[in-house]
Structure 1
Amino acid sequence: MPAEFDPLTSTLRPATDAIITLRVIKSFEYRTERNLILKDIDLTMTTVGDLLELAKKCIMTQGVFRAFRNVEYNTLKLYTKAHGSKTTNLIINLENDDWILPDHSKTLQECGIENETEISLFNRTLYEAYKLNPVEKW
């Protein structure tokens, strides 16, 4: 089959068995983030609140996130979908605040989340402060 007819990788897995990448952001200014890969996510049944709780549990139990445990993670925001364009800001998409997932009772599928979607996880207060003064430090 010619390459132009190959299915996108984001459509190869069913919505009941998706892979989601969470970009756990500790610091916007210092661009401190670590990816949390979540497999076997049922987008049709998992709510935004469920995903938030699962992420918090992983952060508290996985040793690789030890340095990230002092932040109160309370917000999820779409970063990019598979095969979509990415923002020029390497830490978070500052545009499109309508991509924040405020309704914790909606399923991920209802929010437009697909297989291989990247979602930012962060503290909303720190995000709002960074938006007012998006200066990166070293």
Structure 2
Amino acid sequence: MAGSGVVVTVRLVRSFEHRNFKPLVFRGVDLEQTVEDFIDHVKTDVITRAGLPPPFRRFGYDTMKIIHQAHGAKTNELVMSLEDDDTLILQPGLTLTAAGVANETEMAFFSSSDYGLYKASPHTVW
């Protein structure tokens, strides 16, 4: 993706209960693109990225949430915080800038149905 040289980290969350996730770094992200365009780009990249285990490639990701902004406080949760969904989940129709994404933002990419189940009963399995 051509762009302003912004770096964004996307954490692919495969399982909240097992804390199974894989971070991917995207360079040159254009913050003026829409949330939908960025999600499509990430989905395509996940399918074709070398070295990514097959279970991560075939998972049904559909939602992105901001985990951390540069120079901000981090959560104690290992995967991501369960709070502030209405402000941190990226809404369709907005640009990445309008959704709150900036340089060095870290986001989670996950299945909204899995997140809903985990949020209703947040427990981990080891």
TM-score w.r.t. structure 2 length?
Answer: 0.91
What percentage of aligned pairs have identical amino acids?
Answer: 36
The equivalent position to 1:101 in structure 2, one of 70, 84, 90, is 90
**Greater C-alpha radius of gyration:** 1
Matches within 5 A, 1:65-80: 65-80=53-68
**2:46·2:57 contact (CA, 8 Å) conserved in 1?**
yes
Aligned residues: 122
Q: Deviations over 1:60-117 (max 9, x none)?
A: 11131422133211001010100111111110110111211122x2111111211000
Q: Alignment partner for residue 120 of structure 1, among 108, 120, 124?
A: 108
1:39 and 2:27 aligned: yes
Between the aligned partners of 1:113 and 1:47, the Cα distance in structure 2 is 11
Query: Does structure 2 retain, via aligned residues, the 8 Å contact 1:59–1:66?
Result: no
User: Counterpart in 2 of 1:27?
Assistant: 15
Is contact 2:47–2:58 with CA below 8 Å preserved after alignment? no
Q: Which residue of 2 aligns with 1:57?
A: 44
Identify the range of structure 1 (72-81 vs 54-63) with the bigger mean alpha-carbon deviation: 54-63
TM-score by length of 1: 0.84
After superposition, give the CA deviation of every residue in 1:39-65 in whole Å (9 maximum; x if it has no partner): 00111x221111111111111111314
AA of the residue aligned to 2:36 = G
SS in 2 for 1:25: strand
Which shifted more, 61-70 or 78-87? Answer: 61-70
Equivalent-residue separation in structure 1 for 2:68 and 2:16 (angstroms):
17
Distance 1:31 1:59 in 2: 19
After TM superposition, where is structure 1 displaced by more than 3 Å over at least 4 residues in a row? none
1:136, distance to aligned residue in structure 2 (A): 0.5
Range 61-70 or range 22-31, more displaced: 61-70
* Distance in 1 (alpha carbons) for counterparts of 2:15 and 2:37: 24
